[in-house]
């Protein structure tokens, strides 16, 4: 495990890339915790949300140390097809396949998934604080896995990884409303981040099989893609301003069947003193205004 810290171009590129990925991909974690918390009575929502968000950050840091210990196990434990595999190789292959699966699945759900009416018909099950907190814990672990695997796959410097995890999650806690509004308004940013996950997953699988790829071959396409996306957003914004019209982004499909996203989405996007909260706050999520039927649909990033 590497705890050294030196300002090199490669390290700065890793830090900035991880930071952007953590922010964009982590916003779903924050919003969905709010969705689960919104099922509770108003007086319990803030407590469940704040506890869930705090646990999410702690789980990520613990997983970073655990993954950091695993990748130090470089001794071959088995030989297959004439190649030696260590525990590090196995975790890289498994982690890479997980990222590829998650990225492809989420892209499919966002673009091709079937529309579903949430909460239509059926009897609403009674939820308790313990059951919601258990769901939040499981959700934190699932969301943290791709975050940590991505970070460890890009660098073995734990100081950089932990700094990025804590800093990005801290920003999400207090600025989740604005981050979600931006990602929801520009869903191509989310698709770009998922494409990065797919690229990193393939890179990890290759590393696990002993194919060493220069990481500059990953950073350069990422940097170029981010530059192109930034230019596209600036161009679209200026064009809409010249034509004096509102720009309309592609609407992604809701991903989570069986839950009502509208409450948490409204809490993230609604402005005003009575609006609900999705970050660390004493306000209940259900304090947000319920969107009208004729409002434009907004999904999770």
Ranges of each domain in the chain: 18-287
170 contact partners, CB below 8 Å, separation of at least 6: 57
pLDDT band at 114 (very low <50, low <70, confident <90, very high): low
Q: What is the pTM of this model?
A: 0.67
More confident residue, 57 or 127: 57
The backbone region for 124, taken as left when phi is positive above 0, alpha when psi lies in -120 to 50, beta otherwise, is beta
Angle between helix 42-70 and 9-37 (nearest 10) = 150
* 235 close to 262: Cβ distance less than 8 angstroms: no
Residue 9 has pLDDT above 80, yes or no: no
Residues 6+ apart with CB under 8 A from 240: 246, 247
What does the pLDDT look like over 178-228, one tens digit per residue? 777 777 777 888 788 888 878 888 888 888 888 877 777 777 787 788 888
Residue 173, Cα to own-chain centre: how many angstroms?
A: 13
Residue-wise pLDDT for 230-252, tens only, equals 898 888 888 878 887 766 666 66
Report pLDDT for 74. 76
């Amino acid at each position: 495990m590497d705890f050294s810290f030196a300002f090199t171009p490669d390290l700065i590129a890793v830090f900035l890339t991880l930071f952007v990925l953590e922010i964009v991909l982590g916003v779903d974690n924050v919003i969905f915790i709010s969705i689960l918390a919104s099922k509770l009575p108003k007086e319990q929502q803030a407590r469940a949300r704040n506890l869930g968000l705090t646990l999410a950050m702690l789980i990520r840091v613990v997983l970073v140390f655990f993954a950091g210990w695993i990748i130090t196990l470089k001794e071959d434990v088995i030989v297959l097809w004439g190649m030696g595999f260590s525990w590090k190789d196995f975790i890289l292959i498994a982690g890479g396949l997980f990222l590829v699966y998650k990225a492809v699945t989420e892209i499919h759900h966002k673009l091709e998934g079937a529309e579903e009416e949430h909460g239509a018909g059926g009897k609403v099950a009674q939820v308790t604080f313990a059951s919601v907190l258990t769901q939040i814990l499981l959700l934190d672990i699932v969301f943290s896995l791709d975050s940590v695997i991505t970070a460890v796959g890009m660098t073995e410097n734990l100081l950089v990884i932990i700094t990025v995890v804590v800093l990005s999650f801290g920003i999400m806690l207090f600025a989740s409303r604005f981050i979600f509004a931006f990602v929801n308004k520009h869903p191509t940013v989310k698709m770009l981040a998922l494409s990065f996950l797919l690229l990193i997953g393939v890179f990890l699988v290759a590393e696990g099989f002993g194919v060493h790829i220069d990481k500059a071959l990953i950073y350069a396409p990422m940097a170029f893609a981010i530059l192109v996306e930034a230019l596209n957003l600036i161009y679209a914004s200026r064009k809409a301003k010249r034509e004096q019209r509102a720009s309309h982004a592609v609407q992604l499909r809701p991903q989570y069947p069986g839950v009502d996203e509208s409450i948490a989405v409204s809490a993230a996007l609604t402005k005003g003193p009575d609006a609900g909260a999705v970050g660390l706050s004493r306000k209940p999520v259900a304090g947000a205004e319920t969107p009208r039927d004729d409002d434009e649909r907004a999904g999770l990033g």
